[in-house]
Amino acid sequence: MIKGKNQPKSGSAKTTAADLPGSGGYGANDAKLDDLARNTEDSAGEYLTSNQGVRINDNQNSLKAGDRGPTLLEDFILREKITHFDHERIPERVVHARGSAAHGYFQVYEPMAEYTRADFLQDPAVKTPVFVRFSTVAGSRGSTDLARDVRGFAVKFYTQQGNYDLVGNNMPVFFIQDAIKFPDLIHAVKPEPHNEIPQAASAHDTFWDFISLMPESMHMIMWVMSDRAIPRSLRMMEGFGVHTFRFINEQGKARFVKFHWKPLLGLHSVAWDEAQKISGKDPDFHRRDLWEAIENADYPEWELGVQIVEDKDEHSFDFDLLDPTKIIPEELVPVRRIGKMTLNRNPDNFFAETEQVAFHAGNIVPGVDFTTDPLLQGRLFSYLATQLIRLGGPNFHEIPINRPVAPLHNNQRDGYMRQTVNRGQTSYEPNSLRGGCPFQAGTAMHGFESYAERIDARKIRARSPSFFDHFSQATLFFKSQSAPEQNHIINALRFELGKVETPAIRERMLFLLSEIDKTLAKRVAEGLGATVPAKLDQPINMSIPADADPRKVQPKRAKQEIETSPTLRMVDNPNFPTDNIKTRKIAFLIADGFDDDAVAYMRQALLTAGAAALTVAPRLGVLTGAKGEEAKADFSFLTGSSVLFDAVYIPGGDASAAALKGEPEAINFVGEAYKHCKTIAASGAGVELLKSAGLIPRTSGEVAKSDQQTVHPGVVISQEANFSQLADDFIKGIARHRHWEREAVG
């Protein structure tokens, strides 16, 4: 028998879950990791072979007739290698093409039997494996992470009752109410068809043309123009199931449910100017952040929240629960946190896992069911249809990342790339030749049974009048924002509509914005050098049928039960901590001669608080402090940039400060951090850099004399060696994330 150097004594080189990196906390019993391990391959210590297992002894030269002769058709090694390479691409997702994913697990806090019979929501001791993919919607596979866009938040739970996919977004509502408009929406937002410009951006005519004719999108537009669309990290954003679903308990009782994911690191964004710069400096910013956090064992965590509505209360709201452009404000139905998800392992192979994973809103398990939300209903068709072509046939459920850990038995057979070798004579049911196997499962045996919803209706193509309030919740969202966040929405609209070339589109948008909030529309108009039209020449919703009575289909405004909801904003949102700087990246600007004590003290203080200190210097290599301490430069001013960090510290040391003052990129670094409202600290001679950057007065006076003080919101300095107070203030400042009030003073 031929043996590879590291070949195990028997069987193939398979690992179990316990052997895989990051499996800490899982234990060896993790079903999905063991399942994936059946397909993992690691070439370490092995010979190179062809796909037929034949060892190759020359991978440098093709087979030729003579030294300089033509290549021979006979060269099966060359042909196999090149042919495989030629077929390595599959179509990217038609939407959500750009994504990154991670493995983890979910645990429920207490049994949810009162509400649902879903098995994975019963036992707090059970860790259900999950695979989660985050994505942007509009951009292609290689587009930047920091595009202004909705983020997909898709979770596959590998439950004992089969796979359950919660295919959500980081915003709780959607642009459209009916699936029939989805292709139009996506055609409008994707690059324009004649010149394929712009990539991963909604700031162009076709998107706003469509939106300005779709008043139902106004609530979602408020979310996408808000800072939610430019998250600081995938680990710091909420997730939502968007649609109203159903929970069904063992007794068959149904209730409505909306799903939420609440990030334990809080809810944070970057500034729009920063987002655009990150797109150049590090287009993989979110992907890298997720990857590095998991590699550093800073496992991202979210709590799963549910809003449960009794069946009898279906019609007790001033909006329709089936309308995906509406939220249920948390003030009306609180979010109950029922469990926690932890992501603790990066994929082994991007293509095999992140690219080939197939989420489907229609993958549900007993205890969960759909509602007749007309957007959800369309999605139930769409995912399987698209995956059939994206993954090349009907057997993509056999791809390791997609296959359930629950046993799978049915009479489906054959098709491209079939992996399963089904034994036996029968592939139909009922049969007698196989004793009727595989059997149908009764409800008590976890057989899925659809909720017996009563439907008694005429077949019509129409929108329910209960869906016609397109503005109330857009107004609620805008009014609920803090002043800086409102400014950001206004500026985002000025940016996006400023890129629109057709005046009529801007005008229609300004009119629609005035239906949300007059001041909002006026301020956007000011930025555009335009005026808000008092009325439009044509009906507001041009997509209504020509023979419809416009009075019946015009948007109307419902009475809102609440005026504002603090849970909708990001700044001071009561649902999230404001005292946490865990996993934040802090730049230390240093050069040779830095103040060793200051660097050591601040580094330790930040580490203790869970943040990371990284040095940025005029050059790479090892730097020497004033007392001889050595520090490795993690970045130079060429490889690091202020937009890649959460806060900046400039320690003292006369030589270090003098070198930084002579470095235009260092001055730019702190100036940009200031502009993006980040916390900045400086001590000793480091304060001089802030003076050079024009952030504090150059001359004596108050600043020069005093020791410890805050010179601007979020800018703290200490002229003397009072590191303890400085570190406290710095950490408090970072925990506030951004000091947006600086924007108000310019």
Using CB under 6 A as the binding rule, whether residue 358 contacts ligand HEM is answered as yes
List the structure tokens of 597.
Answer: 């004590």
Among 95, 267, 568, 605, binds ligand HEM (CB under 6 A): 95
Using CB under 6 A as the binding rule, whether residue 588 contacts ligand HEM is answered as no
Using CB under 6 A as the binding rule, whether residue 649 contacts ligand HEM is answered as no
Among 20, 146, 179, 602, binds ligand HEM (CB under 6 A): 179
List the structure tokens of 50.
Answer: 């062809």
Question: x/- string (CB under 6 A) for ligand HEM, residues 197-226?
Answer: ------------------------------
Q: How far apart are CA 284 and CA 49, in angstroms?
A: 34
Residue number with CB closer to ligand HEM (99 or 714): 99
Q: How far apart are CA 295 and CA 513, in angstroms?
A: 44
Using CB under 6 A as the binding rule, whether residue 387 contacts ligand HEM is answered as yes
Give how many residues touch ligand HEM by CB under 6 A: 27
Q: How far apart are CA 227 and CA 149, in angstroms?
A: 10
End-to-end CA, the chain: 76
Least Å distance, CB 242 to ligand HEM, is: 4
Using CB under 6 A as the binding rule, whether residue 133 contacts ligand HEM is answered as yes
3-state secondary structure string across 143-154:
CCCCCCCCEEEE
Among 115, 120, 174, 669, binds ligand HEM (CB under 6 A): 174
Q: Within a 10 A sphere around the Cβ of 526, how many other Cβ atoms?
A: 13
Q: How far apart are CA 634 and CA 682, in angstroms?
A: 19
Least Å distance, CB 456 to ligand HEM, is: 25
List the structure tokens of 323.
Answer: 């309308």
Residue number with CB closer to ligand HEM (96 or 488): 96
Residue number with CB closer to ligand HEM (390 or 582): 390
Least Å distance, CB 475 to ligand HEM, is: 22
Q: How far apart are CA 23 and CA 37, in angstroms?
A: 12
Beta bridge partners of 369: 246
Q: Which residues are catalytic?
A: 96, 169
Torsion-angle region of 386 (φ positive above 0: left; ψ -120 to 50: alpha; else: beta)? alpha
Using CB under 6 A as the binding rule, whether residue 626 contacts ligand HEM is answered as no
Using CB under 6 A as the binding rule, whether residue 152 contacts ligand HEM is answered as yes
Residue number with CB closer to ligand HEM (387 or 615): 387
Using CB under 6 A as the binding rule, whether residue 163 contacts ligand HEM is answered as no
Using CB under 6 A as the binding rule, whether residue 486 contacts ligand HEM is answered as no
- Residue 186 in contact with residue 135, Cβ under 8 Å? no
Closest-CA residue to 649 (of 583, 699, 598): 598
- Residue 568 in contact with residue 476, Cβ under 8 Å? yes
Least Å distance, CB 580 to ligand HEM, is: 27
Using CB under 6 A as the binding rule, whether residue 140 contacts ligand HEM is answered as no
For 590-646, strand residue ranges (E) read 612-617, 621-624, 630-633, 635-636
Residue number with CB closer to ligand HEM (176 or 670): 176
Q: How far apart are CA 356 and CA 90, in angstroms?
A: 9
Q: How far apart are CA 662 and CA 591, in angstroms?
A: 11
Using CB under 6 A as the binding rule, whether residue 177 contacts ligand HEM is answered as no
Residue number with CB closer to ligand HEM (94 or 441): 94
Among 390, 463, 479, 732, binds ligand HEM (CB under 6 A): 390
Q: Dihedral, CA atoms, 581, 587, 593, 596, nearest 10 degrees?
A: 10
| Angle separating helix axes 205-212 and 182-189, nearest 10 degrees | 150
Task: Please list every residue from 661 through 690 that binds ligand HEM, using CB under 6 A.
Answer: none
Using CB under 6 A as the binding rule, whether residue 367 contacts ligand HEM is answered as no
Residue number of the CB closest to ligand HEM reads 152
Using CB under 6 A as the binding rule, whether residue 94 contacts ligand HEM is answered as yes
Using CB under 6 A as the binding rule, whether residue 103 contacts ligand HEM is answered as no
Q: How far apart are CA 221 and CA 570, in angstroms?
A: 16
H/E stretch holding 133: strand 128-136
- Residue 483 in contact with residue 520, Cβ under 8 Å? no
Using CB under 6 A as the binding rule, whether residue 135 contacts ligand HEM is answered as yes
Using CB under 6 A as the binding rule, whether residue 93 contacts ligand HEM is answered as yes
**Residues of this chain that bind ligand HEM (CB under 6 A):** 93-96, 99, 133, 135, 152, 154, 167-169, 174, 179, 182, 242, 357-359, 375, 378-379, 382-383, 386-387, 390
